[in-house]
Structure 1
Amino acid sequence: MITMDLEAQKRAAAARALEFVRPGMRLGLGSGSTAKHFVELLAQRVRTGLEVIAVPTSEATRSDAERLGIALTNLDEAPELDLTVDGADEIAPDLSLIKGGGGALLREKIVASASLRMIVIADESKWVSSLGRFPLPVEVVPFGLAATRRAVEAAAADMGCAGPALLRRAKDGHAFVTDGGHWILDAAFERIPDPRSLAERLDGIAGVIEHGLFVGLAHAARELLLALGLAFAVGAGAAAQQPSANAIATAKEVITAKGAGALYSPLVSGVIERTKTVLLQSNPMLGKDLNEVAAKLHAEYASRSAEILTEVAKLYASRFTEQELKDTLAFYKSPLGRKLVAEEPIILDQSMKTAQTWAEGFSQEIMSKIRGEMKKRGHDI
């Protein structure tokens, strides 16, 4: 059920992003499961007469777009794009992103930087209080891998990021190869305290081609918009089942009790700081005034985070009865529920590291097994 809900959110976010597309636009087409929804919906519009031309960010997206009849070009022929629509693996309150889970981070960043506007489409699971739980992809050249990996881990450690950088492997056990012919290190840092500083350190490492930290993207793309499946799924659910005020209030308590409210409270301050940073980049002499204005806005808009909590509560209230919400709240207020809230983040972080370590060992086992079986058939690979 959760997967279906998230897929519905992705589809709704893609549909919302499609509303920004106008005839004659030069589009950047993102990669990944959420962006795939946008490509499919765009193709439907193209079949009804919409004329656009697009630059894909991966060979997989290129294949989908060609199959669906979307006209394609490249950045040599269209060096400036009107709009790019792409997904994200994590979105922090300051709108910094982790991307590259599908391996297309280099082309995604190039296309985003060439765009006048970018829309990031995502479901609610991609919002995090700080980046890092999703392993950070770092695209590297194969030559000197061990030295590059050591440098990446050392730079991260200096930035307060602990965790290994593991070589991503394909299904056959060999190193995953990007569309550009590079390899990827997935860095399990758990938490990245200062994404901008880490990005700068990674940029300076010989052997690193690109990384999945999209910091300052709003400035690079001139305008960053977020089409959240969550917001539009809420609207659709409310139309089908109008939740009562009591149900919404109980849902708010559930969200707070399970600790999820902490994900939304930093959004207001994050947006203010992100906007201030963008303006500072083009107006460095106005730092004092911009800081004072930002401080004023922090105080003025602090209560606005409650609006986000209300919208999320409506989502819960449209999918659970009031009694179910009360039962859920009772659980989270119980000793066992409080223990779950306290321990689950730690378990999730540790389980991710455990799974990655296990997968790397298992891939070697499978590689050995396949080679052994192939050798029996006369193939020494």
Structure 2
Amino acid sequence: MNTATGIRQLKFALCGAMALGLAAPAFAQEPSAEHIAAAREAIRALGATQQFDAILPNAAQGLKASLIQTAPNMQDIIAATVDETAISMVGRRADLEREAASIYAKNFSIEDLNAITQFYQSPAGEQLLETGPLVTRELLRAAEVWSNGISRDLTIQTEETLRARLGEAPSAQTPETDGESDGN
């Protein structure tokens, strides 16, 4: 490595370090209590953390099964102990809520969080939450059918165009005779 390359690399490294140093105060700033409260309301309206409600019960069930498999003669005491311990840990669910609120607060303004809350508490927002997963599944199915049709048609049309440009006879296989049908 020559001196000019070394100096250039050092200059880029120093510029990067300065940029990170200047940006650090912005990253370190914690959201206000009002911002966190707005984030909590948005999370509640979205049901953003509900999907995690089963983590502790599932972990307890898995632990019970594992311990009972190891010591089947102690099934009753294992089940009682795991249940007691799991119940004592229920309060830790609030840790996830705090973390979720912090994440939302860092990524959305108070105004955005209030708008999100307002929308998801409206009839349209509630319907979106309720039917959204079904609509998404149906959309994915429709996209798959569409994708298959596009892929098939692209292949057929490209082959036909290439054959015509190369002066070859058209293929005997067409969408009507290839045995495939996707309803398009």
Q: TM tier, shorter chain?
A: 0.5 to 0.7
TM-score (norm 1): 0.34
Residues 243/296 of structure 1: CA separation in 2 closer, same or farther (3 Å cut): same
- 1:341 matched to 2:135? The reply is no
Q: Answer whether contact 1:261 1:309 (CA < 8 A) is retained.
A: yes
Q: State which of 269, 274, 277 in structure 1 corresponds to 2:65.
A: 277
Unaligned residue ranges in structure 2 (runs of 5+): 1-23, 174-184
Q: State which of 73, 84, 107 in structure 2 corresponds to 1:319.
A: 107
Q: State which of 143, 151, 159 in structure 2 corresponds to 1:371.
A: 159
Number of positions where the alignment pairs a residue of Structure 1 with one of Structure 2: 146
Q: Distance in 2 between matches of 1:351 and 1:237?
A: 43
AA at the equivalent of 2:51: L
The CA deviation at 1:318 is 1.0
Q: Answer whether contact 1:257 1:333 (CA < 8 A) is retained.
A: yes
Unaligned residue ranges in structure 1 (runs of 5+): 1-235
Residue in 2 that maps onto 1:291: 79
Q: What whole-Å deviation, never above 9, does each CA across 1:297-354 have from its counterpart, x for those lacking one?
A: 3322222222112101101101222232122212222222222222212211211222
TM-score (norm 2): 0.66
Structure with the higher helix share, 1 or 2: 2
Q: Answer whether contact 1:264 1:305 (CA < 8 A) is retained.
A: no
State the superposition RMSD in angstroms.
2.8
Q: Answer whether contact 1:267 1:305 (CA < 8 A) is retained.
A: no
Residue in 2 that maps onto 1:144: none
Q: Percent identity?
A: 26
User: SS at 1:260's partner residue?
Assistant: coil
- 1:253 matched to 2:37? The reply is no
Q: What whole-Å deviation, never above 9, does each CA across 1:115-136 have from its counterpart, x for those lacking one?
A: xxxxxxxxxxxxxxxxxxxxxx
Structure with the higher strand share, 1 or 2: 1
Q: Distance in 1 between matches of 2:43 and 2:61?
A: 25
Q: Answer whether contact 1:243 1:317 (CA < 8 A) is retained.
A: yes
Question: Where do residues 91-130 of structure 1 align in structure 2 (5 Å cutoff)?
Answer: none
The CA deviation at 1:365 is 1.9
Q: State which of 74, 78, 89 in structure 2 corresponds to 1:301.
A: 89
Rg larger in structure: 2
Residue in 1 that maps onto 2:148: 360
**Higher RCO (CA-CA < 8 Å; seq separation 6+):** 2
Question: Where do residues 1-381 of structure 1 align in structure 2 (5 Å cutoff)?
Answer: 239-376=27-164, 377=166, 378=168
The CA deviation at 1:251 is 0.9
Q: Answer whether contact 2:60 2:83 (CA < 8 A) is retained.
A: no
The CA deviation at 1:359 is 1.9
The CA deviation at 1:237 is 11
